């Protein structure tokens, strides 16, 4: 019964720091309407919906219920998936499972967030253990800073190396009309921006955004009829590694390492650096762009700074990373992982316009959660065997 | 223009009615910390990893753990950061004082790290691998705050 699955349409909002002109379901509707138009489908063609966000950000639970007018979920099978920062990638993996099972032919996948509607640190804190972790918890940035410190201590990287990643992503965002922050910065500007938590400067981290993204998946029975060049999903992987914050192996992203090994194995990829053509990484801060591509096996441990300084991950380089500008330019958290998925799909489908990487055969997209969780998807131009 | 209005949800004098349970493992840890100033961890019978906070199950081996071991109280900084931006601590409603040291302590004898504050009296001394010891509260109540913070000792 198992079916091959392809992405046949994508849609996203123009992401902003604040969208007071729409409420949640209206924001969701904007992305859904665009995805349907992209696939040239009507809501009646959709068999099921997967939707997700981090409800504690808005303080409104059950988006699967209250958004149906906007999501198209009225009188259709709809489920919510929510896994923290990885949510946007998890909803895509859930949609893949539904279509792949053969039980639903066309599935609409939605990720969204209105981060402007509450206090991000206050909301994120509720994701951690109230007795052991919350009493001394220091917000989302602190765990990332601790990861970066550990990496720096192990491999001798510097804050300049991190800043170089931020310069890259912010430059790439100039090509993406949907990105929230579209302003180039220099290395010096990143390093001169306020230190938030050593070694992370303000310009090393993502903003908070309001935005939504929708992706339509179809089985091999209809995918090529809907879209002549669909984006085939070759493999997915998900890894969650620990219970308490101190359990993590700081300086290495174990979930990324194990997940990507599974991904490469499933797709028969031996040298990801040569075989993958573009990466949309859920990278909420610059140092993740160093550490995590080592865990992916793109380069060896400690080799990322050199690889990035040499321009390999810039547009036009060997393996462009975040042509969209990535998370550093746009971060509506529950949508963020799905935006990575949609951007990777657009690269494979040849629809990425000003940010298109030429001749994409394989694209990688991921989701990351502040608990050092990673979800990921391998996208391909060819139909999987 | 009129002043912006926001919906504020507050509980007045009432407190939020959460009543979290720490279980037998957590209870033993907090009782030992409060009464004897001892740091208790638990070892996996299979992979031998020593866990703190103590817990019933080793996630990797998926076996029950019953082998209690005392760790620390001294240790080293596993990793850390120094927070330089102020934000409201949602647990207390108070603004966190900045700068403050936030670290992951590797107690002597433990394999996982223990999240806590680090004194930033001398920032230069705060390095990964630096020796630290806890400064215990004078009025322990059986909580994470029975340790006030860790300080570098050499
Ligand atoms: Zn074990």
> pLDDT digits over A286-344, tens only?
999 999 999 999 999 999 999 999 999 999 999 999 999 999 999 999 999 999 999 99
- The residue among A133, A134, A136 with the most chain B CBs within 10 A of its CB, best to mutate, is A136
- A249 contacts on B by Cβ (under 8 Å): none
CA A154 to chain centre: 27
The Cβ of residue A192 has, within 10 Å, a number of other Cβ atoms equal to 14
Say what the pTM is: 0.96
Tell me the C-alpha distance between A365 and A97, whole Å.
Answer: 17
Residue A308, φ and ψ in degrees, nearest 5: -75, -40
With respect to residue B9, please indicate whether it lies within any of the assigned structural domains: no
Work out how many CB contacts closer than 8 A connect A with B: 109
- Distance (angstroms) between ligand 1 centre and the Cα of B43 equals 8
Restricting to A residues 196-225, those with a Cβ less than 8 Å away from any Cβ of B are 196-200
Say yes or no for a CB contact (<8 Å) between B102 and A146.
yes
For residue B3, pLDDT beyond 70: no
Confidence of residue B1 (pLDDT cuts 50, 70, 90): very low
With respect to residue B3, please indicate whether it lies within any of the assigned structural domains: no
B92 or A245: which carries more pLDDT confidence?
A245
The whole-chain average pLDDT of chain A stands at 96
Q: For position A17, what pLDDT does the model report?
A: 95
């939707």: which residue's tokens? A51
Say yes or no for a CB contact (<8 Å) between A139 and B87.
yes
User: Which CATH class name applies to A5-120+209-226?
Assistant: alpha beta
Of the candidates A94, A109, A92, the residue with the CA atom closest to the CA atom of residue A366 = A92
Confidence of residue A118 (pLDDT cuts 50, 70, 90): confident
- A198 contacts on B by Cβ (under 8 Å): 81-82, 84
In residues, how long is chain B?
A: 154
For residue A273, pLDDT beyond 70: yes
> pLDDT digits over B103-145, tens only?
999 999 999 999 999 999 889 999 999 999 999 999 999 999 9
With respect to residue B2, please indicate whether it lies within any of the assigned structural domains: no
What would the DSSP string read from start to end of A200-243? EEGGGB----EEEEEEEEEETTTHHHH-SS-EEEEEEEEE---S
With respect to residue B18, please indicate whether it lies within any of the assigned structural domains: no
Mean pLDDT for A218-234 is 97
For residue B151, pLDDT beyond 90: yes
Residues B126 and B120 sit within 8 Å (Cβ to Cβ): yes
Q: Residues of CATH 3.40.47.10 domain(s) within chain A? A: 5-120+209-226, 128-207+231-380
Mean pLDDT for A233-240 is 96
């068999």: which residue's tokens? A47
- The residue among B16, B90, B96, B116 with the most chain A CBs within 10 A of its CB, best to mutate, is B90
A361 part of contact set with chain B, CB < 8 Å = no
Judged by average pLDDT, the poorest of A129-138, A226-235, A298-307, B36-45 is A129-138
Restricting to B residues 49-78, those with a Cβ less than 8 Å away from any Cβ of A are 51-53, 55, 59, 78
Task: Say how many CA atoms lie within 13 Å of A356 toward its Cβ.
Answer: 12
Sign of the torsion angle spanned by Cα atoms A176, A178, A183, A187: negative
Q: How far is A321 from chain B (nearest CA, A)?
A: 27
Of the candidates A20, A362, A6, A38, the residue with the CA atom closest to the CA atom of residue A213 = A38
Judged by average pLDDT, the poorest of A122-136, A152-166, A224-238 is A122-136
B145 part of contact set with chain A, CB < 8 Å = yes
Q: For position A299, what pLDDT does the model report?
A: 98
Say yes or no for a CB contact (<8 Å) between A149 and B145.
no
């906007």: which residue's tokens? A70
User: Is residue B4 left, alpha or beta, with left meaning phi > 0 and alpha meaning psi from -120 to 50?
Assistant: beta
Read off the DSSP letter of residue A85. B
Distances (CA, A) of A75 to A67, A68, B151: 12, 9, 60
Mean pLDDT for A263-276 is 97
């490469």: which residue's tokens? A264
> pLDDT digits over B9-32, tens only?
777 787 777 889 999 999 999 999
> pLDDT digits over A28-46, tens only?
999 999 999 999 999 999 9
Of A122, A243, A250, the CB nearest to B79: A250
Domain coverage including residue B122? 23-152
- Distance (angstroms) between ligand 1 centre and the Cα of A283 equals 31
With respect to residue B133, please indicate whether it lies within any of the assigned structural domains: yes
Task: Say how many CA atoms lie within 13 Å of A169 toward its Cβ.
Answer: 34
> pLDDT digits over A64-105, tens only?
999 999 999 999 999 999 999 999 999 999 999 999 999 999
The domain covering A128-207+231-380 belongs, at the CATH homologous superfamily level, to Thiolase/Chalcone synthase (3.40.47.10)
Mean pLDDT for A49-58 is 94
Say yes or no for a CB contact (<8 Å) between A131 and B116.
no
For residue A165, pLDDT beyond 90: yes
For residue A215, pLDDT beyond 60: yes
Say yes or no for a CB contact (<8 Å) between A136 and B102.
yes
Tell me the C-alpha distance between A305 and A162, whole Å.
Answer: 8
Judged by average pLDDT, the poorest of A124-128, A139-143, B14-18 is B14-18
Domain count, chain B: 1
- A248 contacts on B by Cβ (under 8 Å): 113
Read off the DSSP letter of residue A67. T
- In degrees to the nearest 10, what's the CA dihedral of B58, B63, B68, B72? -20
């Amino acid at each position: 019964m198992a079916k091959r699955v392809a992405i046949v349409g994508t849609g996203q909002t123009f992401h902003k720091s604040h969208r007071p002109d729409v409420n949640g379901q209206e924001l969701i509707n904007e992305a859904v309407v665009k995805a349907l138009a992209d696939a040239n489908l009507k809501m009646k063609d959709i068999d099921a919906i997967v939707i997700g966000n981090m409800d504690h950000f808005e303080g409104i639970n059950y988006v699967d219920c209250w958004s149906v007018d906007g999501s198209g979920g009225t009188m259709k099978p709809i489920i919510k998936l929510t896994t923290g920062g990885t949510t946007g990638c998890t909803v895509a993996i859930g949609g893949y499972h539904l279509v792949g099972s053969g039980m639903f032919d066309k599935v609409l996948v939605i990720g969204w967030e209105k981060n402007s509607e509450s206090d991000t640190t206050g909301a994120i804190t509720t994701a951690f253990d109230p007795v052991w972790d919350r009493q001394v918890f220091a917000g989302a940035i602190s765990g990332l800073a601790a990861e970066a410190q550990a990496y720096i201590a192990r491999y001798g990287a510097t804050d300049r190396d991190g800043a170089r990643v931020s310069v890259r992503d912010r430059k790439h965002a100039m090509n993406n009309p949907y990105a929230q922050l579209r302003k180039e910065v220099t290395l010096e500007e990143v390093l001169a921006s306020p230190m938030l938590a050593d070694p992370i400067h303000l310009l090393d981290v993502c903003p908070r955004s309001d935005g939504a993204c929708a992706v339509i998946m179809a089985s091999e029975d209809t995918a090529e009829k809907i879209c002549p060049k669909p984006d085939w999903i070759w493999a997915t992987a998900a890894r969650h590694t620990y219970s308490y914050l101190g359990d993590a192996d700081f300086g290495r992203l174990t979930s990324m390492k194990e997940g990507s090994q599974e991904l490469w194995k499933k797709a028969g990829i031996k040298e990801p650096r040569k075989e993958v053509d573009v990466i949309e990484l859920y990278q909420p801060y610059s140092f993740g762009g160093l550490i995590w591509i080592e865990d992916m096996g793109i380069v060896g441990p400690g080799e990322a700074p050199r690889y990035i300084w040499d321009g390999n991950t810039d547009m036009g380089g060997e393996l462009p990373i975040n042509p969209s500008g990535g998370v550093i330019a746009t971060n509506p958290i529950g949508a963020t992982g799905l935006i990575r998925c949609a951007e990777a799909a657009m690269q494979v489908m040849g629809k990425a316009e000003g940010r298109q990487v030429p001749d994409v055969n394989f694209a990688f997209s991921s989701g990351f959660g502040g608990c050092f969780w990673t979800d990921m998807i391998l996208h391909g131009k060819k139909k999987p065997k | 223009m009129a002043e912006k209005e926001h919906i504020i949800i507050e509980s007045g004098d009432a407190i939020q009615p959460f009543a979290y349970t720490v279980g037998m493992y957590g209870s033993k840890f907090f009782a030992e910390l409060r009464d004897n100033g001892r740091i208790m961890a638990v070892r996996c019978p299979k992979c031998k990893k020593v866990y703190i906070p103590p817990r019933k199950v080793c996630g990797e081996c998926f076996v029950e753990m019953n082998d209690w071991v005392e760790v620390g109280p001294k240790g080293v900084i596993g990793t850390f950061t120094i927070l330089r931006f102020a934000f409201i601590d949602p647990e207390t409603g108070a603004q966190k004082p900045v700068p403050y040291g936030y670290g992951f302590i590797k107690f002597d004898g433990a394999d996982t790290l223990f999240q806590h504050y680090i004194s930033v009296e001398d920032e230069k001394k705060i390095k990964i691998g630096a020796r630290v010891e806890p400064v215990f509260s004078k009025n322990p109540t059986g909580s994470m705050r029975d340790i006030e913070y860790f300080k570098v000792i050499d």
